[in-house]
Structure 1
Amino acid sequence: MRLGSRKGISSRNFLAALTLVLAGGGLLYLSATSLVAKPVTPLPGPVTTRVSVIPITFDPYNPKKTKFGKLTFRGGLNMFARSAHFGGYSAIALDQSGTTLLAVSDGGSWMRARLDHDGRRLNGLSDVTLGPILDRDGKPVRSVARQDAEGLALIAGETRNGTALVSFERDHRIMRYPFTPERFGPSNGEVPLPKAARSMGDNLGLEAIATIRVGRMKGTVVAFSERLKDRNGNLIGWLIGGRAPGTIVVRRLGGFDITGAAGLPDGGLLLLERRFRYSEGVKMRIRRIKAADLRRGNLITGEVLLEASDILNIDNMEGIAVHRARDGETVMTLMSDDNFSAFQRSLIMQFTLP
């Protein structure tokens, strides 16, 4: 039954049914951690796998609709693979053409894949390779406390060969990883964390990092915890390196937490946010921050581009990346972290920014 349709039932019964659906969905969402199938042992090395997909529309009840908030939906996929190591993707990066995707998982692995399109619409993943993130000793990361990769930012090269920063929570750190098509790591250095980052909770650590590649803040790494708040309840972030490092604060709107960030071609920033409540399920929001607002000591509000509830096709959205398409459009790619749970999905979707 489509929510909001009361045909054949009374208003009282409809409200009761709606309450049960929302509560049940919330319980399933929060109980996902007890139903995970997270791999016990890491991958010994890179392996190829096949990813099957089911195309999705963003509004399942109005599939022809493409305008959502200030964004235009370009297509999406629900993804499946037989590998137990496929899933848990918390952060993504794309090459400049938007063709090759690199993702890191909170299970201590990486994925590289080619994004296939039918014209402008995303229609599949091919050439998919999975592999382990290597620890300092050159072996796959085995400790659960050290596997929880949450943020990814390229600082050199592209998604096949280069260097990336990866942020981890639980064992809070930002590590520098050189990578090739066959290896991701071992790390060749660590970015010193700001003092305030030491007070982050085990599961509320460095959730999002991004690099600014143009403009006055070129070379700056922007990092955010999921929910580290100042005395006014706003969300704390840091400008690391660059010309003017220091603390920034993002105004917390409506109880949302930060799950991802991506630099924009104009030197600005996109923030991906999430909110969960028993009474309403999961929500997602995209905010755009102007380059001029990325200043030390600044309180930032930004511009809301999209806010969506799980009546639309979202899940636990955590990965975000931006590239400039051949036609000049700025394209945003989102990916969900399924927590290796049977009750969640690995989704990927693309929108065009205004």
Structure 2
Amino acid sequence: MARPALILASACLVGIGLVVLPALADKPAEVLSGPLATKVSAIPIAFDRDRPERTAFGNLTFRGGLNLFGKSRHFGGYSGIALDPSGTTLLAVSDAGTWMRATLDYDGRKLKALDDVVIGPILGKDGRPLRGDSERDSEGLALASGDPKSGAAFVSFERDHRILRYPFTMKSFGPPDRAVPLPKEAGRMDRNRGIEAIALVRSGRLAGTLVAFSEGLTDKNGNLQGWFLGGSTPGVITVRRLGGFDITDAASLPDGGLVLLERRFRYSEGVKMRIRRIAASELKRGALIEGEVLLEAEDNLNIDNMEAIAVHRAASGETILTLMADDNFSALQRTLIMQFSLPDGPVLAAPGAQ
């Protein structure tokens, strides 16, 4: 098959998995009663399949990635992640109402394996595992305190739209100890396009503010709407919508800014991914925020349904972005994890940004 036809066929398959199958996804019907250790095998991936030696993409440097295969059918659907400061302990939440903790192993700078993998149930207010799709569809994750091994985290859910604060340990995740009140504008969210992205600002004038974005909720001008929840200046924030992309996740940067992970799908072009950096100085209530495009990738590069992003600072001093793909428990999609290093200082918008 000629390469253009192969790309189109691949785009169609990804599109079917991305758009049609999530509603019919084969999420595990049975509920985990407690933590379950499982094995995960990993195949290294290049971001550019045709030129695997290539590392420069947009304004980022690719550090390596893995295609992951879990031995448990509860492994998958990861939409929110967090890392410890060393980048070696990963905590993730799945849209099947489970959490996953793992150790990231490295070969020098490159990801090598996912070890010590444990999956467990997210608990409801009654102390029992979340069950129905309307209550277990967790999408966003932001550490409130501690680290991925023990502490507290904010988790956002769609369908039954809510943000809850969960104390967690190595063996349990919840029950939640409080809910975060949602603004009235959240009532306009579609059932399956709820609060997809949350991040807790950790430094600067907005330290302690939870930032939340719905997937595709727009204002009257078609720009993406989000909120500052809590903190010193709660209220609505607006991000300029570029090229029809939706926000799928966000993470706080050491300087008080944010990175946004975005996705776009069209049957004619397949799936695309974008990463934007929002400077701390741009994060203002009532302002139209645009930020800087760090990377925009089409599916001729090695992407899938990219839904999760986290930030940590490497021992070298580099700021590292870790991305993860949500496979929707579909055979047509993959659970990918990959890392890029972020340049210091301001960068220019990537060519082609609208």
> Shared fold by TM > 0.5?
yes
Matches within 5 A, 1:240-319: 240-319=229-308
- Mapped to 1, the partners of 2:104 and 2:17 lie a distance apart of 31
The equivalent of 2:346 in structure 1 is: none
**Partners in 1 of 2:2 and 2:33 — Cα distance?**
45
* 1:172-251 matches, cutoff 5 A: 172-251=161-240
TM-fit CA distance, 1:285:
0.2
Contact kept? 2:81, 2:308, Cα under 8 Å = yes
Structure 1 counterpart of 2:21: 32
Alignment of 1:89-238 (within 5 A): 89-238=78-227
Identity of aligned residues (%): 64
Superposition TM-score, scaled by structure 1 size: 0.94
CA RMSD of aligned residues (A): 1.4
Q: 1:37: how far off?
A: 2.1
Q: CA deviation at 1:245?
A: 1.1
Normalised to the residue count of structure 2, the TM-score between the two structures is 0.94
State the distance in 1 between where 2:61 and 2:271 align: 21
Q: Deviations over 1:165-208 (max 9, x none)?
A: 00000000000000000000000000000110011100110000
Quote how far apart the aligned CAs of 1:25 are.
Answer: 4.8
Q: Distance in 2 between matches of 1:349 and 1:339?
A: 18
Amino acid at match of 2:31: P
In the alignment, the residues of structure 2 paired with residue 96 and residue 139 of structure 1 have an alpha-carbon distance, to the nearest angstrom, of 31
Structure 2 unaligned spans of 5+: 344-354
Mapped pair 1:79 → 2:68? yes
Distance 1:52 1:157, change over 3 A: same
Which structure would you say has the larger Rg?
1
Describe the shift of the 1:166–1:124 C-alpha distance in structure 2 as closer, same or farther (beyond 3 A).
same
Distance (Å, rounded) in 1 between the aligned partners of 2:237 and 2:19: 31
- Cα distance change, pair 158–28 in 1 and its aligned pair in 2 (3 A): closer
Equivalent AA in structure 2 for residue 52 of structure 1: S
Aligned partners of 2:252 and 2:311 also within 8 Å:
yes
CA distance, structure 1, for counterparts of residue 204 and residue 131 of structure 2: 40
Counterpart contact for 1:32–1:343, Cα < 8 Å: no
Unmatched tracts of structure 1, length 5 or more: 5-13
| Deviations 1:225-257, CA, capped at 9 Å, x for gaps | 001110000000001111111110000000000
**2:102–2:118 CA contact under 8 A, matched in 1:** yes
Aligned equivalent of 2:310, options 321, 324, 329 = 321
Does the 8 Å contact 2:14/2:332 carry over to 1? no
- How far 1:21 moved relative to its partner? 5.5
Which is worse superposed, 26-35 or 324-333? 26-35
